[in-house]
Amino acid sequence: MPSDDLPPDPAQQNIPVVGEAESGQKILQFLQRRLNLPPALLHRWIRTGQVRLNGGRCKPFARVQTGDMLRLPPFALKMAAQSGAAPTTAATQAPPPPEGDQGRIPPLPPVVGTAGAIWALRKPAGLPTHPGTGHSDSLATRLAARYDQAAFRPTPAHRLDKDTSGVLLVAASFEALRRLQEAIRERALIKEYVAWVRGGWPWAETRLLRHHLRKETARGYEKMRAVNANGAAREALCLVRPLRVRAGESLLLIRLFTGRTHQIRVQLASLGHPVLGDAKYGPQARPAESGPMYLHALRVILPGGRVFACLPDWAGEHAVSVLPEVMAAPANLPPEIPVAESFPLAGNEAI
């Protein structure tokens, strides 16, 4: 009588093989992506031994590696087909994003550069990173549509606001996604922006901005606010260096150390210098001022030193035609930064 612990026969139709792009995922994640079935159902199959990893029993949070084989219940693939899951194999890897015509699928943004399974795309203003209330089109949905049969669908590794343009990193493998997210958590991924703001920036040197931000809701409308430090607020840190200062507006180079929602926009607005064209955190725009929001993700530097950069397509007096030098900053910030090195709030009120 054959043992349940013998290696599975790859000729069976219900045995998916783990591809390189999928390696490192928890087995539950792997099955969710492959089968598009409820996590509770998959968890039960694993717990009761109906799913075997390389011939043996496994736990839901065991991680799969390239070449691993999973035996599934005989009805699993039929259920997956009924759920609408696209058939994938270990060989179905995502090719680099296309540069030219992409047919009926909405086009992907232009490619800034690639580093293996890490892609840098130039997200245009107006395209959300992820789908949300009131909009289904997004970079994530376009990637999913174009690579619907890839073993691992390319995924944005971070986000940019809908009206922010510039460099956005996409991971074309699970391992690339894990590395990028780890680098972001450890502040090892350098992200620099340029922004035109209202008013003459008053400091000539590079300055650290330190605020505490909290999401507030009024009449169903969500907005981030700078508040005094408390348990509900999250610290926001960035460096700012002026590039051009003139009467009425200034061009700033900004390096993020934290990635809070709308962070740059809120921090600058709280100091009286909102981003030009920002209707949410700046003054209400008059019809004559309608136009883009002048905030652009200029440059991303990977931990190994690979640089992806693109200039904004702003025209006229707001054009930026020269890539500024990378802002000098310590590799790691201390846990507590003296208040004397930051901009305190002007008062106790939320701005």
Task: Tell me the per-residue pLDDT of 27-48, one tens digit each, with 9 for 90 and over.
Answer: 888 888 788 888 888 889 898 9
Q: Say yes or no to pLDDT of 256 above 50.
A: yes
Q: Which helix (H) or strand (E) holds 180?
A: helix 174-185
Same domain, 251 and 326: yes
Last residue of a domain, one of 177, 208, 229: 177
Tell me the pLDDT band of 3, cut-offs 50, 70 and 90.
Answer: very low
Average pLDDT value for residue range 230-234: 78
Query: Which among 31, 32, 38 has a CA at the least distance from the CA of 16?
Result: 31
pLDDT tens string 133-182? 777 899 999 998 888 877 788 999 999 999 999 999 999 988 899 999 99
Long-range contacts of 257-262 (CB under 8 A, 24+ apart): 257/187, 257/333, 258/234, 259/158, 259/184, 259/191, 260/213, 260/224, 260/234, 260/236, 261/213, 261/215, 261/224, 262/161, 262/224
Same domain, 238 and 145: no
**What's phi and psi for 4, nearest 5 deg?**
-70, -15
Tokens of 90: 């270990």
Structural domain including 195 reads 187-341
Same domain, 60 and 206: no
pLDDT tens string 71-102? 888 888 888 777 766 555 555 556 677 665 55
Identify the pLDDT of residue 218. 67
Tell me the pLDDT band of 19, cut-offs 50, 70 and 90.
Answer: confident
Same domain, 276 and 214: yes
pLDDT tens string 260-312? 989 999 999 999 999 999 988 988 654 445 679 999 999 999 999 999 999 99
Average pLDDT value for residue range 200-214: 91
Please report how the helices 27-35 and 39-47 are oriented relative to each other, as an axis angle in degrees rounded to 10: 130
**What's phi and psi for 45, nearest 5 deg?**
-60, -45
5 among known catalytic residues: no
Same domain, 63 and 136: no
Instruction: Provide the 10 A C-beta neighbour count for residue 347.
Output: 8
**What does the mean pLDDT of the chain come to?**
82
Report how many domains make up the chain: 3
Identify the pLDDT of residue 24. 80
Residue 242 located in a structural domain: yes
Identify the pLDDT of residue 9. 46
Please report, for the domain that includes residue 60, its CATH number.
3.10.290.10
Q: Say yes or no to pLDDT of 107 above 80.
A: yes
For tokens 């930064």, what's the residue? Answer: 337
Residue 8 located in a structural domain: no
Same domain, 306 and 210: yes
Average pLDDT value for residue range 200-210: 92
Average pLDDT value for residue range 204-224: 84
Same domain, 196 and 266: yes
Residue 350 located in a structural domain: no
CA dihedral 62, 67, 71, 72 (to 10 degrees): 80
- The amino acid present at 42, given as its one-letter code, is L
Report yes or no: 225 and 216 within 8 Å, Cβ to Cβ.
yes
Residue 5 located in a structural domain: no
Same domain, 193 and 320: yes
Which of 78-92, 98-112, 193-207 is most confident? 193-207
Same domain, 70 and 206: no
Same domain, 326 and 198: yes
The number of C-alpha atoms within 13 Å of 210 and in the hemisphere containing its C-beta is 14
Residue 316 located in a structural domain: yes
Same domain, 70 and 132: no
Of 349 and 27, more confident: 27
Last residue of a domain, one of 120, 144, 177: 177
Residue 351 located in a structural domain: no
pLDDT tens string 117-133? 899 999 999 999 998 77
Identify the pLDDT of residue 348. 27
Same domain, 73 and 50: yes
Tell me the pLDDT band of 229, cut-offs 50, 70 and 90.
Answer: confident
Residue 64 located in a structural domain: yes
Report yes or no: 169 and 297 within 8 Å, Cβ to Cβ.
no
Q: Say yes or no to pLDDT of 70 above 80.
A: yes
Identify the pLDDT of residue 192. 97
Residue 96: burial class (beta carbons within 10 Å; 0-12, 13-18, 19+): exposed
Please report, for the domain that includes residue 226, its CATH number.
3.30.2350.10
Measured CA to CA, the distance from residue 89 to residue 97 in angstroms comes to 20
Please report, for the domain that includes residue 170, its CATH number.
3.30.70.580
Residue 163 located in a structural domain: yes
Q: Which helix (H) or strand (E) holds 298?
A: strand 295-301
Last residue of a domain, one of 144, 177, 210: 177
List the catalytic residue out of 4, 137, 161, 313.
Answer: 161
